[in-house]
């Protein structure tokens, strides 16, 4: 059987179901307090794709439904027995009663639709959500320069990147009470404080981000979410750039210190050479037999001085280039 194009494309470039399922565990801490408030809460996943998030919602106690326009994607869900419908996202949202859902989610759908439709989607989500309900929108992060200039455009159905400040503002404008930025999927080595090179600055910023927006509710309902809304997630372009600058400054400082040390050694060698020259001249005048030995020592000192001078010059040039 031929696999539909977009499903084959996502299998190759987004990652396996297992990988996506693992990555989306980052949202579970948002679900747990919500499930405390609404043990029988309903959730709607817009553009559910292969159903990874749908599975997570069900595993965490939510009555979840996934919708998607791509029949090829829905085949993966129906094969797993997941509840799905082939319907348009805005059409489905408009059909739902006020305050009927606890979670509205959309993973990598915002970049596929016109901004005017996205505004309507966010407004409808607010209407449909219960107090303290969550809207989760994940999308490629154009703050990552490789994503913003290259990989985003691999997908022919993408419209344009959405900066996180714009999406965050949209939820605020639509009257969600608060939102949290989650930068996602950065390299583990960078998140653990590993060394940063120039390619890391260009490529290592979190390639995806999400805005998790929460509907207004009573203070005692919102406070159980404070821990997850107060964290910092992922790797920003600013933080990586500052780490790289600090690292380069450290290299320059170390190079300057090495140059200064070599200069000091060179001065000592030159001083010793001058002393030996004086001794050789004195021996020449007195005709002492150790002149040959002293000249050999002098030659060695002069050779060492030239080597140190060359090393110091090389380090100074490399430091200037840095």
pLDDT tens track for 43-63: 999 999 999 999 999 999 999
User: 195 pLDDT exceeds 70?
Assistant: yes
- The span from the CA of 23 to the CA of 301, in Å, is 63
User: 30 pLDDT exceeds 50?
Assistant: yes
User: 150 pLDDT exceeds 50?
Assistant: yes
Query: What is the mean predicted confidence (pLDDT) over 231-257?
Result: 84
Counting every residue written for the chain, the total comes to 322
- The span from the CA of 43 to the CA of 41, in Å, is 7
Question: Residue 73: what pLDDT?
Answer: 87
Q: 312 pLDDT band (50/70/90 cuts)?
A: low
User: 322 pLDDT exceeds 80?
Assistant: no
Number of H helices, E strands in the chain: 15, 7
Question: Residue 1: what pLDDT?
Answer: 39
Question: Residue 253: what pLDDT?
Answer: 72
User: 23 pLDDT exceeds 90?
Assistant: yes
DSSP 34-58: HHHH-TT-EEEEET-TTSHHHHHHH
User: Global pTM?
Assistant: 0.79
Is the domain covering 5-235 a CATH 3.40.50.150 domain?
A: yes
Question: Residue 290: what pLDDT?
Answer: 63
Sequence-ordered alpha helix ranges (H) in 160-290? 164-173, 188-191, 198-203, 219-222, 226-229, 237-286
Question: Residue 315: what pLDDT?
Answer: 65
């Amino acid at each position: 059987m031929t696999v539909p194009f977009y499903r084959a494309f996502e299998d190759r470039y987004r990652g396996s179901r297992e990988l996506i399922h693992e990555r989306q565990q980052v949202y579970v801490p948002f679900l747990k307090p919500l499930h405390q408030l609404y043990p029988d809460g309903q959730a709607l996943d817009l553009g559910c794709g292969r159903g990874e998030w749908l599975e997570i919602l069900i595993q965490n106690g939510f009555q979840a439904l996934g919708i998607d326009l791509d029949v090829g994607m829905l085949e993966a869900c129906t094969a797993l027995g997941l509840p799905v419908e082939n319907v348009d996202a805005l059409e489905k949202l408009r059909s739902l009663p006020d305050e009927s859902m606890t979670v509205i989610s959309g993973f990598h759908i915002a970049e596929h639709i016109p901004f005017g439709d996205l505004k309507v989607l966010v407004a409808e989500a607010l209407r449909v959500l219960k107090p303290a309900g969550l809207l989760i929108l994940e999308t490629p992060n154009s703050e990552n320069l490789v994503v913003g200039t290259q990989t985003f455009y691999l997908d022919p159905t993408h419209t344009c990147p959405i900066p996180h400040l714009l999406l965050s503002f949209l939820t605020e404008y639509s009257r969600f009470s608060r939102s949290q930025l989650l930068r996602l999927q950065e390299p583990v080595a960078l998140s653990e404080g590993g060394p940063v090179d120039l390619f890391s600055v260009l490529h290592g910023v979190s390639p995806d981000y999400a805005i998790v927006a929460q509907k207004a509710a009573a203070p005692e309902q919102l406070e159980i979410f404070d821990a997850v809304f107060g964290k910092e997630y992922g790797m920003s372009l600013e933080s990586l750039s500052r780490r790289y600058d600090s690292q380069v400054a450290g290299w320059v400082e170390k190079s300057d210190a090495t140059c200064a040390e070599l200069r000091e050694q060179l001065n000592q060698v030159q001083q010793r050479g001058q002393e030996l020259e004086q001794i050789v001249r004195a021996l020449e005048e007195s005709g002492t037999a150790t002149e040959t030995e002293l000249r050999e020592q002098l030659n060695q000192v002069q050779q060492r001085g030239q080597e140190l001078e060359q090393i110091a010059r090389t380090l100074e040039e490399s430091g200037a280039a840095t």
